[in-house]
Every structure is written in C-alpha cells, then in structure tokens.
C-alpha cells in the first residue's frame, strides 16, 4: 500500500473530499496487491468541476498564448525532471516495464512542450473578398469547457495529448481518467498545480463512469468531449452528445495489420514486428494485431520472429530487464485465451507461447504467443485482441493483401515492411488507415497528427492539427465604404 486514501478529486484548485463515503481500491496488476484507495465521485462532483471550469474560462482564454505557454513549459519541465518517480507510479498501477513507463512519461512531457510552443500560434485567416465593399476575417476561438476521458493503457500520455492542446488553445478542462490508472492522472494534476495553473482550469474527477459521463454529456457548458478508448464507448458518447450538439473528438480502437513484403529487410522487419506487437504487452491501440507475410519469406521470417519473441523476459515491471509485464485485468487475460483457443480450434498452429504462463507471480500474466496458418474467420484476425497474441497469415498477391488489410471497420494504423519505394507509395495510398508506418512502428510523436478513420475515430491529436480540435472558427464580415 502506498497510502490508505489518495485524494483524487480536484475542483477549482482544491483537493476535495468526495460528497459520498464511497471509495475504490486500486490494484497492482502484477502482484494483485492493493496500492491505495481513491475517491469515488459521481454526477454531483462532475457538475461542480464543470462549473469551476466554466468560471475559469474567461480569464484563461483571455490570457495571451505566451502567458499560457509559460505554465505549460513549466509543467513539461517538472514532468521530465520527475520522470523516474512518475514512471514507477505508472508501472505500479498499470504493469508495463519501467523503461516503457519512463519513456511514456517523457513522451507525455513532450506533448506539453510541443503545445507550450503552439500556444502562441493559433492563427486566423484573411479571406480576399469577392466584392470591394467587404473584408472577411476568420478568427480562431477556444471552444470552451472541454471534458476529457482517458484509458488505462497510456495513463500519462493520453492525458497530456488532450490537455496540452486544450490548454494551449485557451480551453478549461475536466478530466476523467481510467479507474485502473488514476494515480498517473493525479500526479499530472499536481504538476499543473505546481506549475502555477490558475484554479478551475484543470479539474479532475474519479468515480462512476456512467454518472460522470452523463453530466459531461448533458451539461450545456461542456462544448467538447475528447475521448480515447474503445469504439463501443465512443459510439455511445457520440450518440448521447447529440442532444446538446456537442463536438465529440474520438480516438478509438484499432486492428492494425503488418504487411511484410518479400523485399523486406528481415532482421529489421522482425525487430520492428516484435516492437509493435509486444510493446505494452500488446495493449496499444496501434499495435499490430495481425501479420501478413509474403509466402517467399514466411519460413525465415517466422523463425526469426520466434527467436526474438522467445528472448522477451516476462516479470515485474519494476525489475530491470523486464520486457513484458502483466495484462491489465482478468477480463483482458480471458480475451487473450479466448482468441488463442478460437484460433487453435480453427486450425492455427502454435509457434511459441500458449495459454499457460509458468512464472510464480499472481497477476494477469500470459506468455508472448505466435500462431501461424491464421485464417480470416479467426477472431484474432477480425477483432482487437489487445494482448500478446500474434497471428501470421501468408500471402502472394499485393492487391489481395491490401484488400484483406482493409476488410475491417477499424482504420487506425497499418504497417508495411518493404525496401521498394514505388511499393511504399502505391500500398500506402491504398491502405484505408489514418496512419501508415513504413519500416516504422512508432507514429505517435508530438509534432505529427495521430488519429484513425472509419470506426477508429474522427479526430487528430498531435501537431498543429491537435490544437485545431479545440479551436472554433469565427467569421467577422465587415462592410466598408
């Protein structure tokens, strides 16, 4: 236990007692030990948080970009300096290896830094009028109070990827983090506090998702809900937001294909495939879910992949040299097992791994697993598995593999491994995904737009595109003599 009760509700610059006595226990997914209790808030606290954000909006949006920028710079700096401690907290609540957790915290600080720079670049437009008696100006205005809802798989960077641009644009915010990983969110809010964020600009509510969500959805003061999480919850939020015609920015699930062509550099390609699939133990929205390998290189590719996967060390994230931590929950472990059982029952052949992990930790562990001879009917080839299960299917024809890769409602990220420039462009243009990695599996960087198409989302986070989500365009039409 880190402590018995961690204050987790922050409204108008105050760490608050919750209005009810209800609390929620946070567990370490590797050891199943209780870490701490947090407050379990609901609709009442969410309304108070939205009121605070609404009252803080005129002052925060009225500051210059430079003034807001200074606070974001400070927050980024504090976060980078404290990356090791913050990484340890992240690993304890989420399970990922410490090296990945520290990397995530530094990446999260990178979003704050990028948007500290963007804060003074909210440009408008001067439109040449078609008549001499008019002048047309478009000015960007911060959209207003923003409600941010985030998942557990990147408990730090998913928050700053939203709050960074929202705050830079001049919006005030209410954050609801995942109940699995609220401690990283609490630390981020403390950092904003230390950086000098005025009261009410950043508010935090933990607790009942239905109640918090209901208030965020129905309260007219909330002008935008920015959500990262599953497609199912994203669809629900989009439906329910229609009554108040709120904008809903969605970053949803993925089902990324990797296509390894016969001209790929096998050593590089297999290293990248391992990095993509097994980062965060397969619990990454953009991680590869299925692997298509050209028949001519399939045996060599599979053998190399097996060799590299078998070197991955499973264990406690806080221990040095750990490559794979636990899954986040029992439910996640059940999904891994159900996708593996389904694949084996439908004719897949186990290359390495399997359902049983032979370690002695009580948490939600499973071995990194590869199956070959995967077919299109298998669940693992159709749904987001979100676990370290890698199915391999071979192909011979470029058009056919593109058709298969596109045959899904998801459209977040896709990867191709090839050394051929014409193929790179031809295939990248045809893949229906928001992001294409060519011999690269890490497209999420502060300066570039991250986001899906189809049912993987409708927005972009990162780069100047990320700030556009939080800015409305207002036309000023001036008649002159």
CA 55-209-153 angle, 5° bins: 100
CB of 22 to ligand NAP, least distance (A): 14
446 token code pair: 């502060």
328, 152 in Cβ contact below 8 A? Answer: yes
Q: Give the active site residue among 48, 180, 251, 461.
A: 251
Stretch binding ligand NAP (CB under 6 A), from 12-20, 119-127, 245-253, 355-363: 245-253
Phi, psi (deg, nearest 5) at residue 246: -80, 155
User: Which member of 75, 143, 252, 416 binds ligand NAP (CB under 6 A)?
Assistant: 252
Which one among 95, 107, 122, 151 touches ligand NAP, defined by CB under 6 A? Answer: 151
The pair of three-digit structure tokens given for residue 97, joined into one six-digit string: 């290896």
152-211 residues in contact with ligand NAP (CB under 6 A) are: 152-154, 158, 176, 178-179, 209-210
Residue number closest to ligand NAP, CB atom: 213
For residues 142 and 254, which CB has a smaller minimum distance to ligand NAP in the complex?
Answer: 254
Residue with tokens 């998702």: 209
Of residues 353, 349, 393, 388, the one with CA closest to residue 371:
349
The span of 71-79, 226-234, 258-266, 307-315 binding ligand NAP (CB under 6 A) equals 226-234
- Three-state DSSP class for residue 195: coil
CA-closest candidate to residue 351, choices 390, 317, 319: 390
Identify the residue among 56, 112, 149, 159 touching ligand NAP (CB under 6 A): 149
Closest approach of ligand NAP to the CB of residue 201, in Å: 21
DSSP 129: P
Task: List binders of ligand NAP among 285-314 (CB under 6 A).
Answer: 285
**Secondary structure element (H or E) that encloses residue 335, with its range:** helix 330-345
Q: Which is nearer to ligand NAP, 452 or 466 (CB)?
A: 452
Q: Is 123 exposed, middle or buried (0-12, 13-18, 19+ CB in 10 A)?
A: exposed
DSSP-assigned letter for residue 109: H
By CB under 6 A, is residue 434 in contact with ligand NAP? no
Contact 328, 178 (CB under 8 A): no
- When the beta carbons of 56 and 412 are compared against ligand NAP, the nearer one is 412
The set of residues, in sequence order, having a beta carbon less than 8 Å from that of 310 and lying 6+ positions away, is 352
Minimum CB distance to ligand NAP, residue 332 (Å): 8
Torsions phi, psi of 441, nearest 5? Answer: -125, 15
Give residues 109-138 in contact with ligand NAP (rule: CB under 6 A). none
Q: Which of 228, 276, 394, 459 binds ligand NAP (CB under 6 A)?
A: 228
Tell me the two tokens of residue 226. Answer: 């920015």
CA atoms within 13 A on the CB side of 247: 17
| Residue 287 annotated to the active site | no
Confirm or reject binding of residue 78 to ligand NAP (CB under 6 A).
no
Is 463 within 8 Å of 447 (Cβ atoms)? yes
Interface residue with ligand NAP among 142, 213, 257, 446 (CB under 6 A) is 213
Least gap, CB of 243 to ligand NAP (angstroms): 15
- Catalytic-residue membership of 171: no
Cβ at position 416, least distance to ligand NAP in Å: 20
Please give the positions annotated as active site.
Answer: 251, 285
Residues that bind ligand NAP (CB under 6 A): 149-154, 158, 176, 178-179, 209-210, 212-213, 228-230, 233, 236, 251-254, 285, 384, 412, 452, 457
């Amino acid at each position: 236990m880190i402590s018995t009760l961690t204050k987790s509700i922050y409204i108008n610059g105050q760490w608050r007692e919750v209005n009810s006595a209800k609390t929620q226990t946070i567990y370490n997914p590797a050891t199943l030990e209780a870490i701490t209790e947090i407050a379990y808030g609901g609709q009442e606290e969410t309304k108070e948080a939205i009121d605070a954000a609404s009252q803080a909006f005129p002052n925060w949006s009225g500051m210059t970009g430079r003034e807001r920028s200074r606070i974001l710079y400070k927050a980024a700096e504090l976060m980078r300096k404290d990356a090791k401690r913050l990484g340890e907290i992240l690993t304890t609540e989420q399970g990922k290896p410490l090296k990945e957790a520290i990397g995530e915290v530094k990446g999260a600080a990178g979003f704050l830094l990028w948007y500290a720079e963007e804060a003074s670049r909210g440009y408008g437009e001067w439109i040449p009028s078609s008549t001499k008696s008019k002048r047309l100006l478009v000015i960007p205005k911060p959209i207003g109070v923003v409600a941010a809802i985030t998942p557990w798989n990147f408990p730090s960077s998913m928050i700053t990827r939203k709050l960074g641009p929202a705050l830079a644009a001049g919006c005030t915010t209410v954050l609801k983090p995942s109940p699995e990983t609220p401690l990283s969110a609490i630390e981020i809010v403390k950092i904003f506090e230390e950086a000098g964020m005025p009261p009410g600009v950043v508010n935090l509510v933990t607790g009942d998702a239905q109640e918090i969500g209901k208030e965020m959805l129905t309260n007219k003061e909330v002008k935008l809900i920015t959500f990262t999480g599953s497609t199912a919850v994203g669809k629900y939020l989009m439906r329910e937001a229609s009554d108040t015609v709120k904008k809903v920015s969605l970053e949803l699930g993925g089902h990324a294909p990797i296509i390894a062509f016969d001209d790929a550099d096998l050593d590089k390609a297999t290293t990248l495939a391992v990095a993509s699939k097994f980062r965060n133990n397969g619990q990454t929205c953009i991680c590869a879910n299925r692997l298509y390998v050209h028949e001519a290189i399939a045996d060599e590719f599979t053998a190399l992949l097996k060799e590299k996967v078998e070197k991955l060390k499973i264990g406690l994230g806080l221990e040095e040299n750990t490559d794979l931590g636990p899954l986040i929950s029992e439910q996640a472990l059940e999904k891994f097992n159900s996708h593996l059982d389904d694949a084996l029952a439908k004719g897949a052949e186990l290359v390495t791994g399997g359902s049983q992990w032979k370690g002695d930790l009580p948490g939600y562990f499973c071995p990194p697993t590869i199956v070959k001879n995967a077919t299109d009917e298998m669940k693992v080839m159709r749904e987001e598995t979100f676990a370290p299960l890698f199915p391999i299917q071979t192909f011979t024809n470029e058009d056919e593999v593109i058709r298969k890769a596109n045959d899904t409602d998801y459209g977040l990220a896709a990867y191709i491994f090839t050394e051929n420039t014409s193929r790179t462009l031809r295939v990248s243009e045809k893949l229906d995904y928001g992001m294409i990695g060519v011999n690269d599996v890490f497209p999420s960087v502060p300066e570039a737009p991250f986001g899906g198409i189809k049912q993987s989302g409708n927005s972009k986070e990162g780069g100047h595109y990320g700030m556009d989500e939080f800015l409305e365009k207002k036309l000023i039409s001036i008649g002159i003599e």
